[in-house]
Each structure stands twice: as structure tokens, then as C-alpha cells.
Structure 1
Amino acid sequence: MARGLISWAWLRKPYCIQARFSYLRMKYLFFSWLAVFISSWVVYVQYSSYTELCRGHECKKTICDKYRRGVIDGSACSSLCDKDTLYLGKCLSSKPNNQVYTGSWGDLEGVIKCQMGDILQYDLGADMEPRKEAMLFDKPTKGTSVEKFKEMVFSYLKAKVGEQANLQDLANLVLSVADSNKDGHISLPEAKSAWALLQLNEVLLMVILQDKEHTPKLLGFCGNLYVAEKVEYTSLYGLHLPWLLELWIPSGVRRSMDQWFTPSWPRKAKIFIGLLELVEDVFHGPFGNFLMCDVSATNFGYNEKHDLKAVDLRRVVPEAAFREAMRDRHCDVDADCVYGADCSTSCDLTKRRCSTDVIQPNLAKACRMLKDYILRGAPLDVREELEKQLYSCMALKGSADQMEMEHSLILNNLKTLLWKKISNTKDS
């Protein structure tokens, strides 16, 4: 009897082992298939997203077609369309209608930006999406004289930045950029390109602040495609991860990692000083005040010397245009009176209209954005005073021109404190 039981057990053992191996094989095949499916889906989604966002070839085709037909002209047209010396490299686009690429132009490295579709200007009265006009490059029309074009530019700038004593100087500055071949004359194709570019906040800022070190230089243009100076480090934080890892890291963990992977504190202090100087440039600029309506770390970078450089100026808008747009905006609550991420006014419930006075100046937004950035790793002998000044800065309310003395005092105190600490270090 015992021998029979033992024999039966030996007969059952291979069967159990075989069933176990079959189960493991099926489990392995299932998870392998699942991994392949998920990977394929992620790759498909990323590829679809890439093809939708990155349409540089379409932009180049449209621009070059209009250039060859004599509709537009500019300093970058020949290199882009005839010589192929203006090369579109890595795609950095975040929206299909705003194409952004790293690129090279002969020996120069730059960032190439191109507006897709019939886009001429940003409508402050709506969302951040550009407003479409009937046809791109339709102005000025054939037969328009140079003097008439100058009047067009002057009137547009007056509406954009407000009435100013030196408005004619700004118009002359724009016209000098429009003369792309520097022959002393503005052709109709050059005028069409310049008019299209003039509608873009970023290009207008680059023209106005072309002598300021924290603003990328406008290197050239063709139609509404333009080449800007390349910023070496396009993020204030030093950690760059593959996109696949980015999908799985929680936002809170990502923010903590960002704060750890940053330059040394003296270098961060120099970057922060650069941001304060940029705030001065757009507030005390020669051609009116501008509002920074998206003060986020992704819009700023720095070069090898750790001088701050603006990466994206599209959300820096003229205060005059902002006020005019808000004056006509209907509202029920304060949340209806917001433009971008950082420009807001209050809602006048008696009139159901937004007020025109911005709630916080640019300086307060800059301090809020970089508070944790500059406090982490700060030397103990300046940390307490620095934190105190930062909170005073963040508490600023109202537009800068309404509190000019307090605004200037806080800004200068912050710059002095930081420069005093880093002036004798090699990082300064």
C-alpha cells in the first residue's frame, strides 16, 4: 500500500511541475505583452504629439513660398530658402501655432521661432491664444508709400505702448530693423515682414531692449519667422531627465529635485540679480512700462557666466495695451480679470467691468518665483535679512508707478545685499 502511494506521488510530481511552469510561462507572456503594449502606446502618443507640435517643415515651406513670390523679404530669407545655411534643429515647440527650434545660421547658434497660420497679434481680451486676422502679410498694401508705412508704424506703436514724448524714436528704431539689407530703403516685402513681426510682443521687446544684456538679441527674420540669440541654459534648474522618466515622477517630488539640482548659491545670487535688473529694464524702459504676465522658471535661463537671460518674452505685454484690454472686459468675479498666469486686476461689481490697475507689480512676482531658489543654500549671515526682504518684496501691492519709491527701495536693497555677499567670490 505504501509503495503504491509513493508511486502515485512520483507520478503526480512531474504533472505539478509542468503545470507550474505553464502558469509561469503564461504569466511571463502576459506581462511581456502588457509591457510591449504600454510602451507602444506611449511611443505612439509621443510621436503623435511630436508631429502635431513640430511643424517646422510646413512653416519653412510657407515662408519660402512667399519669399520666392516676392511677398516678403528679410535678412534670413536667402539663408533659409536659397542657401540652406539656416538650419532648423531640435524642436522645442509647446503649441502647434508657435513653432520653436534650436538652429544654426552659418557659424551662429540661435533659436528659430515661427508663427503658424494667419496670426498677427495677441488678443489681451481673450485667452493666451493669438487672434487670427483675415490674411497674413496683407499689410501694407501695394502702392503704400514709405511715409505712409511710417505713419502706420507710429499709430500702431502709439496704441500699443501709449502716448510718449519719444515715440518717434521707437518708430525709427522699428524702421531701422525693417531695413534688413541696410540699403537705406524699405521695400514692400521688407515692410510686410516687419509689420507681421511688429504684432508679436516678443519681437517688440527684443527691439526695444536690444541693448540690454538680459534680453536675447534679434539676429534676423524672414516674414514672421525670426532668429533669436541662443540661451545656453534654458532652465534655472540643472536637472534634465528623459521624457519617459518625467511621466512617472510626481510633481511634488519633481519640485524638490529641481531645488536640489541648481547652481551654487553665489551663482544663483547672480542669476537673481539679473532678474531684478530685467524687472528694472521693463519698468523703467525708455518706451513705456511692460507687465510680466507669466513669471515662471521655464521662461528664464542663463549663460555660461550665469547672467540671467529671458527665454520667452511673449507674455511680457505693454501696460497701456493691458489696461485698454481690461477696461473692456466683462466680469462677475475677480477670477475673470486675469491675463496669463500673473497679471490680474479686480472686478468692479457695480459696473461688471475689470479695473485697469494690476494687483501686483513685476517685482513681487519675481521675488515669489525665486524665493525658495535663492533661500536654499544661502549663507547663514545673510539668510535672515534676505528672507525678510523677500517677504517685503512679495507683499508689494498695486502697480509699480503707484509705489515707485517703495518699489525702488526694495529692489535696490535686494541687489545691494546680494552683490555685497558675492562681490569677492570667483562666481561673481
Structure 2
Amino acid sequence: MFDCPISFRMRRRKRVRALLLSAIDRLISCLEFCQELSQGPWKMWLFVILILGLLYASVWRIFLYDPCDSSLIRKQLCSQYHTGEVSGTLCYPMCIQNVQFFSYCEATEYEKSFVWHQTKFKVAMIDESVPWWNLQEGTLISEFRGQVSSFLQQKLGHSIYEDVTDKLLLYADFNEDGKLSLAEAQSLWRLIHIHEFLLLFIFQKSSTFPNINGTCGHFYGFQHAPIPRLYDKQPNSWLSKLFTNSYKWEFPHWAKRARVTLGIVEFSMDIYEEQGTKFLMCNISPLNFGITFDYEAMLTSTKDIASASSIKTLLHNQTCYSDSDCLYSKHCQSQCDRRTGRCSGEIIQPTLWFICDIIRDYLLFDAPKHLYYELKRLLGKCSSLSMKGDNADLKHAVVYHDLKSFLWKEIQYRPDA
């Protein structure tokens, strides 16, 4: 599966460390010898040695320090794999073929991520003492299916998830032998408790969601966007302080931007209704979307996507004095019923309302003159969208269809798109 050259990062670290130590030892010996010859002040030589020590510490911090403890993570996962506790398509290349997926580390309190080639790998920081971490040995497939279905009901809201459950159990058969071992079931069970993985799996048919590229226990990899953000209005550069619109200078050609925008608009519809459940993105910004080499939009963060049902459960009947008290997140807000002093739990605006807001800057800038005003009118129709009322779904579908049709008509025959 993985035929790329194996990284020798860990061996290189040891070699570099040994070379540095050897070089410093020789320098110190040389300095001592020179001191005896010159009878110079010993303080000067001590200062030189101190500088060399600081240099070594700096090199170690940059090239040898491992803030993500990747070697420990790999050791633990491989130990669990060899003892039959976990399974997955990444286990064999990582633990037997010694493929080093751990590079370009980023660490947070909740997860550690690594980029290897064009794939991002993540491992969630979960307390392994939690009761649900390990499945009971002897659990029947029918019992496990029920556990998965109940979890989806709890996580996503009341609906029928038979199709998702079937696909999850089929995916968990990593060796494709038609059976589900304890290691395979346990790995799936841990993975679906990771919010990002569950959403990536549910929306694998959507072109905007990254493809899952494999798993090993609760370690998983997925497609990585080469350009990790659509644009940034607040880049930290002296140029942005002089020219407030300098971020637009890096925009691709308009036709390519239209292609990217089409993908983002389709994303808003992909999550609007899936498996009988509405999903919402509750913090939408240009930083949530990246661009592939083919100028396709790709989601770079799923942490703010949640089902409308789960949001309603949290907000419904919450005490309030104004609408600001009924705020789930930046872009997910319900209304306060001042007669009862309770939140309704119904979200006011759909995701497409906010999508139009972030693509307005991106699409109208330098747009062809014969398209500008029609495009502006279509984006303006988004401001009338609401999730309330009997015709809310119909209005949403009309705005989505008009915007998608307009963009597709303009780029389908353009060679520069």
C-alpha cells in the first residue's frame, strides 16, 4: 500500500547527535592544547566552550527534540497491534515495514498530528482508563452493532443509522476476511468516539471532505490540502499593515476561484441533510477550507460541525434573557422566548448563509464585469435564508441551486478553470 521511501529520521537523529558530540569533544581537546601552548586566560576558553554548548542545545532543539513523543506513540500502537488489541490498514506498514509516518509534528492538548507526504495523521489524546475504551471479550457482533447504533443515536440525534452502522462494520473488517475480530471491533469503537473521524467517515461521499487513508487503533490518516486556507484577512506581515487588501493579491485567477467556490457551496448542501440528520458548521471562516492542486475545495477542520439535533438538545429550555444567551457557537444561535425565558433550541441561519459571507470577498474581487452584478445578486439572496418557517428547506434549495448552476455554467467549458 505504501511504496514511498522509508524515512530514516530516528537513525539520522542518533547519527547527528553522535557527530555533534564528537565534534565538541575534539574542539575542547584542541582548545585545551592551544591554552597550554599560549598560556592564555582560562576564562576565555570557558566562554568559548559555553558558546559551543549553547550551539549544541540549539541544534538539538531544532533537529532532535520530539515534542509529540512520536517514538512513544508508535511503540504503544505497535505493542497493542502485536498483542492483538488493535488493528487497521496502517498497522502493518508502521509496525512491520517500519514506515515512518511521524514527521512535521503539531501538538495540542487533545491531539497530535503529523504530515507525511500528502497525508495528515492524527492520534487523539484520550484517557485510556475511561470505561468505554476497551470492549469486553466475547462481545457478539449483534451486540456490537447495537452499541454502535446506540452511540450514533446519542452523538448525532434520533434517526435511523442502519446504513452508517453497516458501512462502519464493513470498514472495520481491515483484513477483508468477512469476519470481525476483537481487535478490529475495538479499533472501530475507539475511532468513532473521535469526532473528526466519525464526520470524515459519514461524509466520505462529499468531495469537500478529505479521504480517509487508513487507521491503526485510534491512529488515523486522511488527505491533506496543499494550500491549507482559502485566504487570511489578518496575515502577520508588514505588507498587510500597509495595504489592508493585500491578502487578495494572492488569489488565483477568477475561474479557478469560481471552481473552488463551487466546491464550498456544494459542501453547504452536503451537510444540510445527511442520513436524515441536519448538520451545521458553527464557526465558518476562510481558514476552514483549503485548496488542492486541482483547485478543488477541501475542508481543513471539522471540529465545529455538529448535528442540529445535538445542538438543540444543549440549547433547548436553557434559561435566557436575550438571544445572546442562546449561543452555541459563533454561527449557531437560537432565539430566546422572552415570555418563558427559555431558548427555543432552533438555529436561526443555515450554514449557507455564512458560506456566502466568506465567499463574497473571494468571488467578487476582480470578477468579470458581465458577471459581477448577477453574482452579487445571487450572493445577496443568501441573506434572506432562515431555518424557520414551512418553506425554509425549499428556499435553501433554490438559493443553492441558482448559485451552483451559475458557477458551473461559467467554468464547465473554461480551460483556465
Equivalent residue runs for 1:181-192 within 5 Å? 181-192=175-186
* Distance of 1:221 and 1:287 partners within structure 2: 27
Structure 1 counterpart of 2:141: 146
Query: Closer, same or farther in 2 for the Cα pair 1:394/1:75, shift >3 Å?
Result: same
Maintained 8 Å contact 1:59/1:116: no
- SS of alignment partner, residue 204 of structure 1: helix
Maintained 8 Å contact 1:219/1:227: yes
Q: Post-superposition shift, 1:177? A: 1.5
1:89 lines up with 2:103 in the alignment = yes
* Distance of 2:236 and 2:71 partners within structure 1: 28
- SS of alignment partner, residue 346 of structure 2: coil
Q: Post-superposition shift, 1:111? A: 0.8
Maintained 8 Å contact 1:292/1:315: yes
The one-letter amino acid of 2:314's match is A
From 83, 88, 101, the counterpart of 2:114: 101
Q: Which moved more, 1:297-306 or 1:154-163?
A: 154-163
- SS of alignment partner, residue 293 of structure 2: coil
Render the CA deviation track for 1:98-127: whole Å, top value 9, x for unaligned.
2222114xxxx3110111132xxxxxxxxx
Maintained 8 Å contact 2:86/2:216: yes
Structure 2 counterpart of 1:128: none
Query: Closer, same or farther in 2 for the Cα pair 1:52/1:332, shift >3 Å?
Result: farther
Query: Closer, same or farther in 2 for the Cα pair 1:348/1:72, shift >3 Å?
Result: farther
Query: Closer, same or farther in 2 for the Cα pair 1:400/1:196, shift >3 Å?
Result: farther
Structure 2 counterpart of 1:410: 399
Query: Closer, same or farther in 2 for the Cα pair 1:330/1:91, shift >3 Å?
Result: farther
From 206, 223, 239, the counterpart of 1:229: 223
The one-letter amino acid of 2:190's match is A
Structure 1 counterpart of 2:11: none
* Distance of 2:209 and 2:112 partners within structure 1: 20
Maintained 8 Å contact 2:317/2:344: no
Structure 2 counterpart of 1:129: none
Structure 2 counterpart of 1:173: 167
Maintained 8 Å contact 1:197/1:224: yes
The one-letter amino acid of 1:172's match is D
Q: Post-superposition shift, 1:136? A: 7.3
Percent identity over the alignment is 27
Maintained 8 Å contact 1:201/1:315: no
The one-letter amino acid of 2:115's match is T
Q: Post-superposition shift, 1:426? A: 0.9
Structure 2 counterpart of 1:8: none
* Distance of 2:93 and 2:122 partners within structure 1: 15
Query: Closer, same or farther in 2 for the Cα pair 1:253/1:54, shift >3 Å?
Result: farther
- SS of alignment partner, residue 102 of structure 2: strand
* Distance of 1:394 and 1:84 partners within structure 2: 53
1:80 lines up with 2:130 in the alignment = no
Equivalent residue runs for 1:7-156 within 5 Å? 54-93=68-107, 95-104=108-117, 109-118=118-127, 134-135=129-130, 138-156=133-151
Structure 1 counterpart of 2:28: none
Render the CA deviation track for 1:244-264: whole Å, top value 9, x for unaligned.
x96564976686222221111
* Distance of 1:315 and 1:181 partners within structure 2: 33
* Distance of 2:237 and 2:348 partners within structure 1: 37
Query: Closer, same or farther in 2 for the Cα pair 1:216/1:164, shift >3 Å?
Result: same
* Distance of 2:223 and 2:341 partners within structure 1: 44
- SS of alignment partner, residue 81 of structure 2: helix
* Distance of 1:147 and 1:386 partners within structure 2: 52
* Distance of 1:292 and 1:260 partners within structure 2: 28
Equivalent residue runs for 1:281-300 within 5 Å? 281-300=270-289
Structure 2 counterpart of 1:382: 371
From 254, 262, 267, the counterpart of 2:251: 262
Alignment gaps of 5+ in structure 2: 1-53
Query: Closer, same or farther in 2 for the Cα pair 1:103/1:319, shift >3 Å?
Result: same
- SS of alignment partner, residue 344 of structure 1: strand
* Distance of 2:83 and 2:320 partners within structure 1: 46
- SS of alignment partner, residue 120 of structure 2: strand
Maintained 8 Å contact 1:400/1:407: no
Coordinate RMSD, CA, aligned: 3.2
Q: Post-superposition shift, 1:393? A: 0.7
Equivalent residue runs for 1:300-311 within 5 Å? 300-311=289-300
* Distance of 1:398 and 1:52 partners within structure 2: 47
The one-letter amino acid of 2:143's match is K
* TM-score (structure 1 length as normaliser): 0.75
From 355, 360, 375, the counterpart of 2:344: 355
Structure 2 counterpart of 1:24: none
- SS of alignment partner, residue 173 of structure 1: helix
